[in-house]
Structure 1
Amino acid sequence: MSQVWPYLPARAVNITSLVEFDRLAAEALASHRARGKNWRVHRVDLRERDTVLKSLDLSEALFIDCQYSSQGQQIVQATGGLCMSSGSELPFETGARDLYSADELYSGIRTQTYEHVPDAKIYAYSQQHVAVNGNSDDSALSKTLHDHHIGQALVSAVYEGMFQDTPIIGVMGGHAMNRGTVEYARAVELGRMITRAGYAVATGGGPGAMEAANAGAWLADYEPEDITTALRMLAEAPDAIHQRTGWARTALMVKERFPSQRQSLGVPTWFYGHEPPNLFATGIAKFFTNSIREAILLEQSNGGLVVLPGAAGTVQEIFQDACENYYATGARVVPMVLIGKDYWTKDLPAWPLLQALAKERVMEQKIALVDTAEEAMAFIESMTTLRRRTRHPQGS
């Protein structure tokens, strides 16, 4: 078994020579999208490739220790790519720790661009320092230790900390939902409603629908006119991938203008490190291993799951949770609500399959398809919240 997994995306395109770069760039430019999806370009001299770089969509690409012309780095970043130095020192802790905060992951963002903050440095390190061809890599153990302690910190927050008295509702949805859209505003209102109803919002911790739900939790105590102002401020930098620095700074400005004591959870991953974590979650459990992150997020959503429109990742979350509910005994089934009747029956028809799975099982009465946040909350509140398992003290 390859020792690269799970720290390097299995379908990442690793480019280590100019010949490889030119071949793959030619293939991309011959397609209708010209996209460098999941490219990891390592130590390639790109000083003569400005024209090619300008023509590619590099929004999910990472360039590590490459060489550029005087304009090359700006060209890559303008299309959403990240230009990083791998570094040699371990940029994260491997011992016991608390959850991350936005201030920790984005330290320095007020005066420096995103690629200089800890979140970006950890991502670059995770992509460069991997085991290759079966050879061991000490960084693999470091990442495993990190994820173990972050998982412990999350469990402590749920059972003993900020979420101990609050049922958690998971909000799932796509990262591509930009600020300034009607859909984003509706997701903010959903997060606000969940929080005001006495639940805690938990999301995948990224941009788009995830950020909107966490922002709604942050703004839960503000009046509608304040929400409108906050949304207008955020819309100044709507795109998390192409405007990472401005996107983060506008979130900071909103948080400073509208301070909050509300708590919400974000559970992002450096596996999808091109998607920056949002700054509105007050507790951030960021993992290297995506499978652990997905499982623990769904596991802790004991109050229910609300699913906004998304793509493949969101569909995966629907059926990962549906599988748990399918085999669960009655008391362990958690309600799930899909928002967007047309979307989930026509655009991505997950609802008919979900209904078919649920037929004549306990979960049949605990799934719903609605069009509004109000309907979603009414359904969730009609259910009995799943009681968390008792956490026994160590050694008992």
Structure 2
Amino acid sequence: MLREIHSAAELDEALDGSVSLDGFRLQNVDLSGSAGTRLREAADRFDGLVVLGGQVPGDLAMDLTRRGAIIFPADPGAPVDAYRHALYSPTELYDGLEPSGYEATPDARAYTWFGDCAARHDAYATALRALHDDSMRDALQEALDGRRTVGIMGGHAMSRDEAAFLEIAHLARRLAEAGLVVLTGGGPGAMEAANLGAADRTGRLDEALDVVAQVPSFRPDIGAWASAGFRAKELLGSGDDLRSVGIPTWFYGHEPPNVFGDAIAKYFSNALREDDLLAGSNDAVVVLEGAAGTVQEIFQSVTPLYYAPDDAPLPDLVLVGQRQWTEKVPVWPALTALSEGKRFAEHLHLVETPGEALDIVLARA
């Protein structure tokens, strides 16, 4: 049976009660101390034991390998930890922002690494990125397990000083207050508005909106945009409850992650990121104004609805902006044609305002 171990303390506890290490996956565990000594003495053979990254002294690595273990070493030269077992925090991705600027942050370094042509065609770097994204997927699923979630989709172009930004923030706050976890693409624009609204634990949302409006866009200065976000976030409070998650991608590295999600699941693969964002939205998907990326999300969310088994629970798909989705980007006629005679027709909605979308989502509660 597979068992993931994420820390030296967890390994000690597992060794106290285990008679076999077959199926153990040590993910980013520090084995440089007593936990490594105990592991070495725990069995004669380590067939079925896999060590993913972490701190593994050379002599221990050789001994475990000789006795049947498989070891995937960490790469200190990579800007990301391929074997991490937890989602990112905004402060982690933006470490070094003050005073060194955005280019010094782990987020910016990871984007540069991803975009480097040599790394892009390096099978080893590709493998590291794939391992990272699989670890991120695992961490996201663990974080959302058993929670009711609502995805809020929309483009990155919306400015912080637009009326629609305020509307979306208030919508997301209501959803979070109702006990729903808000999921977004994790970037600027409508995505940031939703994460920002969900983050309000103090009732000071309008003050925070005033702060970010002073730096309306991430262009041309991502650092100033992110710093204003952190200042606003201080007004909103913090807590152990999970109210929202941003799910961005380095594939769209020109769109920096917003700082308001309680956690960030950032991927290299946009395809995996899109799949996990939509699959994780189990109560509803609310689609705000956007362009090609948002249209892709609409049809990607429709596909599982179209082919869902008769007994499967279905989330609502709510499109906001009648002219947007019937005239400017006329996807609504295609959706209604696809839904004809299908069970998901009753879960498909076109409304004019975020407030109407809120009513539909809360009616499921």
| Aligned residue number for residue 16 of structure 2 | none
Q: Does 1:151 align with 2:132?
A: no
Cα deviation, residue 258, structure 1: 2.6
Q: Which of 283, 291, 301 in structure 2 is aligned with 1:311? A: 291
Q: Secondary structure at the match of 2:172?
A: helix
Q: Deviations over 1:261-318 (max 9, x none)?
A: 2521111000000110010011111000110000011001001100000000001100
* Identical columns (%): 40
**Judging changes above 3 Å, is the alpha-carbon distance between structure 1 residues 146 and 364 closer, same or farther for their aligned structure 2 residues?**
same
Q: Does 1:210 align with 2:198?
A: no
| Aligned residue number for residue 55 of structure 2 | none
Contact 1:335/1:383, CA 8 A, preserved across alignment: no
For 1:344 and 1:114, the matched residues in 2 are separated by 36
Q: Does 1:290 align with 2:277?
A: no
- For normalisation by structure 2, the TM-score amounts to 0.75
- The unaligned stretches of length 5 or more in structure 2 are 1-75
Q: Which of 109, 122, 134 in structure 1 is aligned with 2:97? A: 109
Cα deviation, residue 259, structure 1: 1.2
Q: Deviations over 1:191-234 (max 9, x none)?
A: 11211122110001111100000001001x444xx322211110
For 1:260 and 1:180, the matched residues in 2 are separated by 24
Contact 1:130/1:139, CA 8 A, preserved across alignment: no
Contact 1:201/1:217, CA 8 A, preserved across alignment: yes
| Aligned residue number for residue 231 of structure 1 | 209
Q: Deviations over 1:222-257 (max 9, x none)?
A: 44xx32221111011111131201100001101123
| Aligned residue number for residue 95 of structure 1 | 83
Say which is worse superposed, 250-259 or 375-384, in terms of deviation. 375-384
For 2:137 and 2:95, the matched residues in 1 are separated by 22
Contact 2:202/2:237, CA 8 A, preserved across alignment: no
- For normalisation by structure 1, the TM-score amounts to 0.70
1:123-134 → structure 2 map (5 Å cutoff):
123-128=111-116, 130=118
For 2:174 and 2:348, the matched residues in 1 are separated by 19
Contact 2:113/2:119, CA 8 A, preserved across alignment: no
1:303-382 → structure 2 map (5 Å cutoff):
303-330=283-310, 331-382=312-363
Q: Deviations over 1:111-159 (max 9, x none)?
A: 1211111100010011115467xx6431111111111111111111112
Amino acid at match of 1:251: G
Contact 1:325/1:332, CA 8 A, preserved across alignment: no
Q: Does 1:253 align with 2:231?
A: yes
| Aligned residue number for residue 4 of structure 1 | none
Q: Secondary structure at the match of 1:99?
A: coil
Contact 2:183/2:246, CA 8 A, preserved across alignment: yes
| Aligned residue number for residue 45 of structure 2 | none
Amino acid at match of 2:79: P
